[in-house]
Structure 1
């Protein structure tokens, strides 16, 4: 039974997509980002071969697969050789070149790299460098990226310049995703579901309405809700303080009920009453 051409094309294409996926995974993530000359050439050729094998029904399918394997092996082994030898790496991947030094464009280098002044200025603007004279060094990397070092007086001030100690930044944790709590991220941030409930109450948002909720370095919860037309309430520091005091009081009362130690129970109850008195005396100041 002969397979219809349209079905044959679908089957060939499906198989090739799977094979290309495996071959690309074998080459590694570099093939998806910074391409060497070999990888650039191989990528174009592999795509052309795959297209021909998919639609060229008169050609032998397995001959195309063999060709794909060869063209995948070339950049793979070239990359392995580049890792082993710096000389080979310079030939295969190219070398970085200085195109601006001490605020002056290196015209010969720029011409050698086949870049025009306009293209260089465009790359500089992408690095927030709008004047050549402000640049100490500009290096054109082998993958075509331009890295720029501004002159010292043109660099923005940093806490280190002012001899200031700053707390290290932490990775923001996504604790709510499409209305569901991500417990692993919540635990990594050092908070609990009870804390999350209090923060959502401050924002007057139900968890089912939260598309994405994240905790930043300083422990602040920010949310993006499904309905963008709904306006989130502005942060009210005094109201937040009142809520925090009430939560502390509730925690003390809860601890008192949970402990079997008479001494601890008395301590929790005393502190809960102290907080209750503080809240009663200051509530008119904290209500906004």
Structure 2
């Protein structure tokens, strides 16, 4: 189990010699660009991952609901990895370091408490903390 209940299981990643980069790559290969869509991710014996998306993110096509979507998507921008701020990526995002710091302080956290933070293709900030419990990750707008 690499993700359980929407939480990244850092210990299991390291036990399987996986990095966040390799997990993100495997998720993208499953057409998952926003990690906050994942309820469960399992590492299979053959090295592939299986993904169960959260119910609200399971596939429904625009054709199924006869609607046209005009929203623009972007590539996800990682801003914190393994407790380290990725300053070059911050300049690519629409979130300032001050905004990020204020958001973390509102949860009594700081950058070093964050295992992974990314601005998803939907423009939402996803934060996963070290030592988090099995509850839903903070999804900040």
Which structure has more strand as a fraction of its residues?
2
TM-score interval, smaller chain: 0.3 to 0.5
Normalised by the length of structure 1, the TM-score is 0.25
Structure of higher CA gyration radius: 1
Normalised by the length of structure 2, the TM-score is 0.46
- Higher RCO, 1 or 2 (CA under 8 Å, sep at least 6)? 2
Which structure has more helix as a fraction of its residues?
1
